[in-house]
Amino acid sequence: MKITVEHIDLPENEVILRCPTLDEEMLGVLSLLRSGLQRLCVWDDSRRTTLLTPAEVVYCETVEDRVFVYTGQAMYQTALGLGELESRYSGLGFFRAGKSAVVNLHHIRSLASQGAGRIEATLVTGEKLMVSRRYAPLLRERLGL
Amino acid sequence: MKYFNQFYLWGVDTKYRMGLYFSAAVFFKGLVNVLLGNWTVDIVVLLEMLLACFAFACLESAIFPYGKEWLAKGQGGRIALWAALANLIFIGCGLGLNWFPGIPLWGGLLLVLILEYALLAMWYALRLKERRDTAALNQGLRRFQEET
């Protein structure tokens, strides 16, 4: 990718992306530019980008080095890693539930102690997600227990 | 060092379980002896009980290694094996090594009933602990969701 920075007199900073199609690289750049806002830039199967509010996100997971974002109705991809998602939106309820998942605590319907230090989270979508033994103490701490 | 640490942690866990079973065995041995008018306990019997408890604790840690859930679905076979081994070891040693000489038949049956009750109580205690933890987790979750 060719990067050009032009110093010209403009009333407002401007970024123009030029590309034949929105490929992974360009989606990643878009995502980075837009993540300056509190919104999360994601794209769907047809590579249509969408800006999600963190509150819309139920959980995120990595599958084969790709980060998928799940809302109650749809599934998207994002260029941000799980670590970035967690640190960026931690204050909005994002919590690292395992090596490959970040969950929005506001979208958990119930929690169940599973012995051996693990916790099973039932999401509002009805899906179940296991908080691993490593992250369960952090969840307890987050919940003030 | 990794293997030593694993062995050490296993030892700590097994020692704790062995101690728990041994204290129960000594309590009932002492109680039966006192009821039979005997205020002493043979050291050999204590040693046999200690070894039996150690053997059971080792088998228990093999059936339920650290991190293996007792109450998870599909653990029925393991729990049945654990209960069967407890019966085999404690009833077998009680009869074979004559831990309770002079005890009437009804007394022996009562001890067996107590053993079964104790095994059930252990399972129930785990379930109770899990339920209490689940309630605390959900309370914390609701508080978090309301506050933020």
User: What interface predicted TM-score (ipTM) does this complex get?
Assistant: 0.74
List residues in chain A touching B: CB distance below 8 A: 91-93, 105-106, 108, 110-119, 133, 140, 142-145
A117: CB partners within 8 A, 6+ apart: A133, A136, A137, B67
Q: Which of B44, B56, B53, B62 is nearest to B99 (CA)?
A: B44
In angstroms, the CA B64 to CA B56 distance is 12
Surface of B (69-108) touching A: CB under 8 A: 69-72
Q: Cα–Cα distance between A98 and A130 in angstroms, integer?
A: 8
Residue B92 CA, chain-centre distance (Å), reads 16
Q: Give the gap in angstroms from C-alpha B133 to the nearest C-alpha of chain A.
A: 6
pLDDT tens, position by position, A23-57: 888 887 777 776 555 788 899 988 898 889 889 99
3-class DSSP state for residue A101?
strand
Q: Which of A35-39, B40-44, B79-83, B122-126 has the lowest mean pLDDT?
A: A35-39
B66: left (phi over 0), alpha (psi -120 to 50) or beta: beta
Minimal CA–CA distance to A112: which of A102, A123, A104, A96? Answer: A123
> What integer pLDDT is reported at residue B67 of this predicted model?
59
Contact state of A140 with B140 under an 8 Å Cβ cutoff: yes
The gap from C-alpha A10 to its chain's centroid, in whole angstroms, comes to 33
Residue in B124, B105, B48, B112 with CA at minimum distance from that of residue B86: B112
Tens of pLDDT, residue by residue over A67-86, are 999 998 899 999 999 999 99
Identify the pLDDT of residue B69: 60
Residues of B in contact with A104 (CB under 8 A): none
Which of B90 and A30 is assigned the larger pLDDT? B90
